[in-house]
A = this chain, B = another copy of it.
Protein backbone atom coordinates (compact mmCIF):
# COMPACT_ATOMS: atom_id res chain seq x y z
CA UNK A 1 0.00 0.00 0.00
CA UNK A 2 2.97 2.32 0.11
CA UNK A 3 4.66 2.39 -3.24
CA UNK A 4 2.22 4.91 -4.74
CA UNK A 5 2.79 7.17 -1.74
CA UNK A 6 6.53 6.83 -2.03
CA UNK A 7 6.22 7.93 -5.64
CA UNK A 8 3.93 10.83 -4.80
CA UNK A 9 6.43 12.01 -2.21
CA UNK A 10 9.30 11.78 -4.66
CA UNK A 11 7.34 13.59 -7.35
CA UNK A 12 6.37 16.37 -4.96
CA UNK A 13 9.99 16.83 -4.05
CA UNK A 14 10.67 17.13 -7.78
CA UNK A 15 8.68 16.24 -10.91
CA UNK A 16 10.47 13.46 -12.78
CA UNK A 17 10.32 10.82 -15.46
CA UNK A 18 10.19 7.13 -14.69
CA UNK A 19 13.89 6.67 -15.06
CA UNK A 20 14.74 9.69 -12.96
CA UNK A 21 12.48 8.33 -10.26
CA UNK A 22 14.20 4.98 -10.48
CA UNK A 23 17.57 6.64 -10.02
CA UNK A 24 16.40 8.73 -7.11
CA UNK A 25 14.85 5.71 -5.45
CA UNK A 26 18.21 4.01 -5.66
CA UNK A 27 19.85 6.65 -3.55
CA UNK A 28 17.27 8.16 -1.28
CA UNK A 29 13.71 7.02 -0.77
CA UNK A 30 14.69 3.54 -1.86
CA UNK A 31 16.84 3.19 1.25
CA UNK A 32 13.66 2.43 3.14
CA UNK A 33 11.23 1.72 0.32
CA UNK A 34 12.96 0.13 -2.62
CA UNK A 35 11.35 -0.35 -6.00
CA UNK A 36 12.43 -1.55 -9.42
CA UNK A 37 11.85 0.48 -12.54
CA UNK A 38 9.09 -1.92 -13.62
CA UNK A 39 7.16 -1.30 -10.44
CA UNK A 40 7.61 2.42 -10.85
CA UNK A 41 6.37 2.56 -14.43
CA UNK A 42 3.36 0.45 -13.63
CA UNK A 43 2.53 2.59 -10.64
CA UNK A 44 2.97 5.82 -12.61
CA UNK A 45 0.44 4.48 -15.08
CA UNK A 46 -2.02 3.70 -12.31
CA UNK A 47 -1.58 7.03 -10.58
CA UNK A 48 -2.12 8.83 -13.85
CA UNK A 49 -5.25 6.76 -14.47
CA UNK A 50 -6.59 7.72 -11.05
CA UNK A 51 -5.97 11.39 -11.72
CA UNK A 52 -3.43 11.81 -8.93
CA UNK A 53 -0.57 12.78 -11.21
CA UNK A 54 -0.25 13.90 -14.83
CA UNK A 55 2.36 13.80 -17.51
CA UNK A 56 3.94 17.15 -18.16
CA UNK A 57 3.10 18.36 -21.67
CA UNK A 58 5.77 17.47 -24.24
CA UNK A 59 6.14 17.66 -27.98
CA UNK A 60 6.64 14.01 -28.91
CA UNK A 61 5.07 11.65 -26.39
CA UNK A 62 6.31 8.39 -27.90
CA UNK A 63 7.96 5.24 -26.68
CA UNK A 64 11.57 5.77 -25.72
CA UNK A 65 10.89 9.45 -25.07
CA UNK A 66 11.35 10.98 -21.67
CA UNK A 67 8.02 11.61 -20.02
CA UNK A 68 7.86 13.63 -16.80
CA UNK A 69 5.09 13.57 -14.25
CA UNK A 70 3.89 16.06 -11.68
CA UNK A 71 1.51 15.63 -8.77
CA UNK A 72 -2.01 17.02 -9.08
CA UNK A 73 -3.94 18.49 -6.12
CA UNK A 74 -5.84 15.22 -5.71
CA UNK A 75 -2.52 13.43 -5.42
CA UNK A 76 -1.24 15.76 -2.76
CA UNK A 77 -4.50 15.35 -0.85
CA UNK A 78 -4.24 11.58 -1.02
CA UNK A 79 -0.67 11.67 0.23
CA UNK A 80 -1.65 13.96 3.10
CA UNK A 81 -4.50 11.63 4.01
CA UNK A 82 -2.24 8.59 3.99
CA UNK A 83 0.48 10.31 5.97
CA UNK A 84 -1.87 11.45 8.70
CA UNK A 85 -3.64 8.09 9.05
CA UNK A 86 -2.21 5.77 11.67
CA UNK A 87 -0.86 2.43 10.50
CA UNK A 88 0.06 -0.75 12.25
CA UNK A 89 3.62 -1.84 11.70
CA UNK A 90 4.10 -4.74 9.33
CA UNK A 91 5.12 -8.01 10.93
CA UNK A 92 8.85 -8.52 10.83
CA UNK A 93 10.60 -10.76 8.31
CA UNK A 94 14.29 -11.39 8.53
CA UNK A 95 15.70 -14.31 6.62
CA UNK A 96 19.10 -14.14 8.27
CA UNK A 97 17.72 -14.62 11.77
CA UNK A 98 15.52 -17.40 10.46
CA UNK A 99 18.57 -19.10 9.00
CA UNK A 100 20.36 -18.89 12.30
CA UNK A 101 17.43 -20.59 13.90
CA UNK A 102 17.48 -23.27 11.23
CA UNK A 103 21.23 -23.62 11.66
CA UNK A 104 20.65 -24.53 15.30
CA UNK A 105 18.87 -27.64 14.01
CA UNK A 106 20.64 -28.61 10.78
CA UNK A 107 24.11 -27.20 11.31
CA UNK A 108 25.92 -23.93 10.84
CA UNK A 109 27.73 -24.71 7.63
CA UNK A 110 27.99 -21.72 5.33
CA UNK A 111 26.50 -19.26 7.79
CA UNK A 112 29.66 -17.55 8.98
CA UNK A 113 30.66 -16.61 5.45
CA UNK A 114 27.29 -15.04 4.91
CA UNK A 115 27.46 -13.13 8.17
CA UNK A 116 30.70 -11.62 6.92
CA UNK A 117 29.04 -10.78 3.64
CA UNK A 118 26.17 -9.03 5.40
CA UNK A 119 28.62 -7.23 7.64
CA UNK A 120 30.43 -5.83 4.62
CA UNK A 121 27.17 -4.68 3.04
CA UNK A 122 26.05 -2.93 6.20
CA UNK A 123 29.41 -1.25 6.59
CA UNK A 124 29.18 0.02 3.05
CA UNK A 125 25.65 1.30 3.62
CA UNK A 126 26.66 3.02 6.83
CA UNK A 127 29.53 4.76 5.07
CA UNK A 128 27.12 5.96 2.40
CA UNK A 129 24.72 7.35 5.00
CA UNK A 130 27.52 9.09 6.85
CA UNK A 131 28.66 10.70 3.65
CA UNK A 132 25.16 12.01 3.04
CA UNK A 133 24.96 13.28 6.58
CA UNK A 134 28.17 15.23 6.24
CA UNK A 135 27.20 16.59 2.87
CA UNK A 136 23.59 17.58 3.59
CA UNK A 137 23.40 18.12 7.33
CA UNK A 138 26.85 19.40 8.16
CA UNK A 139 25.84 22.03 10.72
CA UNK A 140 22.87 24.02 11.95
CA UNK A 141 20.14 22.44 9.87
CA UNK A 142 17.08 24.30 10.97
CA UNK A 143 14.15 24.07 8.55
CA UNK A 144 11.46 21.62 9.57
CA UNK A 145 11.97 19.76 6.31
CA UNK A 146 15.67 19.33 6.87
CA UNK A 147 15.09 18.16 10.43
CA UNK A 148 12.66 15.48 9.28
CA UNK A 149 15.01 14.30 6.58
CA UNK A 150 17.84 14.21 9.07
CA UNK A 151 15.68 12.21 11.47
CA UNK A 152 15.08 9.58 8.81
CA UNK A 153 18.75 9.46 7.97
CA UNK A 154 19.56 9.06 11.67
CA UNK A 155 17.32 5.99 11.75
CA UNK A 156 19.26 4.54 8.84
CA UNK A 157 22.61 5.25 10.46
CA UNK A 158 21.62 3.81 13.82
CA UNK A 159 20.06 0.78 12.21
CA UNK A 160 23.19 0.00 10.23
CA UNK A 161 25.24 0.54 13.35
CA UNK A 162 23.09 -1.94 15.20
CA UNK A 163 23.53 -4.56 12.51
CA UNK A 164 27.26 -4.07 12.35
CA UNK A 165 27.56 -4.51 16.09
CA UNK A 166 25.32 -7.54 16.19
CA UNK A 167 27.00 -9.22 13.23
CA UNK A 168 30.41 -8.62 14.76
CA UNK A 169 29.19 -10.13 18.00
CA UNK A 170 27.68 -13.07 16.14
CA UNK A 171 30.90 -13.78 14.29
CA UNK A 172 32.70 -13.77 17.63
CA UNK A 173 30.27 -16.36 18.94
CA UNK A 174 30.78 -18.51 15.89
CA UNK A 175 34.50 -18.72 16.48
CA UNK A 176 33.83 -20.27 19.86
CA UNK A 177 31.34 -22.77 18.46
CA UNK A 178 32.29 -26.34 17.73
CA UNK A 179 32.87 -26.86 14.01
CA UNK A 180 29.57 -28.63 13.42
CA UNK A 181 26.56 -28.09 15.59
CA UNK A 182 23.64 -29.79 13.80
Binding site for B on A (CB under 8 A): 2, 5-6, 8-9, 12-13, 29-34, 76, 79-80, 82-87, 89-111, 113-114, 117-118, 121, 144-145, 147-149, 151-152, 154-156, 158-159, 162, 165-166, 169-170, 173, 177-178, 181-182
Q: A90-B95, A117-B86 are in contact. Are A101 and B149 (CB under 8 A)?
A: yes
Chain A interface secondary structure, helix, strand, loop or mixed?
helix
Q: A105-B13, A110-B85, A117-B86 are in contact. Are A144 and B2 (CB under 8 A)?
A: no
Q: A151-B170, A166-B155, A177-B147 are in contact. Are A32 and B97 (CB under 8 A)?
A: yes
Q: A162-B159, A177-B144, A177-B147 are in contact. Are A83 and B106 (CB under 8 A)?
A: yes
Asked if residues B94 and A32 are in contact (CB atoms below 8 Å), the reply is yes
**Given A32-B98, A84-B109, 18 additional A-B pairs, CB 8 A:** A5-B99, A8-B102, A33-B92, A79-B102, A79-B106, A82-B99, A82-B102, A83-B110, A87-B95, A94-B155, A100-B151, A104-B144, A144-B178, A148-B181, A151-B170, A154-B166, A158-B165, A158-B166
CB distance from A96 to the nearest CB of B (A): 7
How far does the alpha carbon of A2 sit from the alpha carbon of B165 in the complex, in Å?
Answer: 25
**A–B Cβ pairs within 8 angstroms, 18 of them:** A2-B95, A2-B98, A8-B102, A32-B93, A32-B94, A32-B98, A33-B94, A33-B95, A76-B106, A79-B102, A79-B105, A80-B107, A83-B102, A84-B110, A104-B144, A145-B181, A151-B169, A158-B165
| Complex A-B, nearest 7 residue pairs according to Cβ-Cβ distance, in ascending order | A34-B91, A84-B110, A144-B181, A104-B148, A80-B106, A32-B97, A32-B94
Asked if residues B102 and A9 are in contact (CB atoms below 8 Å), the reply is yes
